[in-house]
Amino acid sequence: MKKQGILNSDIASVLSKLGHTDTIVIADCGLPIPDGVERIDLALTQGTPSFLETLEAVLEDMEVEHVTLAEEIKVNNPSVNTKVQELFTGERDYVSHGDFKNLTKDAKAVIRTGETTPFANVILRSGVIF
């Protein structure tokens, strides 16, 4: 049995296969997941697991060079936006929610959480460890 890091076998598998600039998405329970993109559904009940606890766990196990968020999070969910900024101090950009949904089509996987606050979604772009 794995001793540390991500225990979820689907997430661990996706992370181990990522190359430089590949992306994954951590999403609230309402974000549409495009056909053909792997869905890793963690949602148990409304709010469980949360977007932030899922993001924290993934950031501990994934080398991330850039994050993308929806512009709308700034006004509609400022506390989550602030926490994302605290958790990841590297490069970030904001795009419209419509553009965000289009970008998810290129992701290797979407991790669906039980989050029910608005625009609690992030695209993580893989970096390299060397």
pLDDT in tens for each of the 130 residues of the chain? 677 889 999 999 999 999 999 999 999 999 999 999 999 999 999 999 999 999 999 999 999 999 999 999 999 999 999 999 999 999 999 999 999 999 999 999 999 999 999 999 999 999 999 9
Hey, which bits of 28-101 come out as E strands?
38-41, 64-70, 91-95
Cis upstream peptide for 49 (omega within 30°) = yes
Among all residues, which ones are annotated catalytic?
Answer: 20
CB neighbour list of residue 60: distance below 8 Å, 6 or more residues apart:
5
pLDDT score at 4: 83
Annotated binding site: 28, 97, 119-121
pLDDT score at 3: 74
Annotated binding site for substrate: 28, 97, 119-121
- Third-level CATH fold of 12-126: RbsD-like fold (3.40.1650)
* Strand-strand pairing, 122-126 and 64-70: antiparallel
pLDDT score at 120: 98
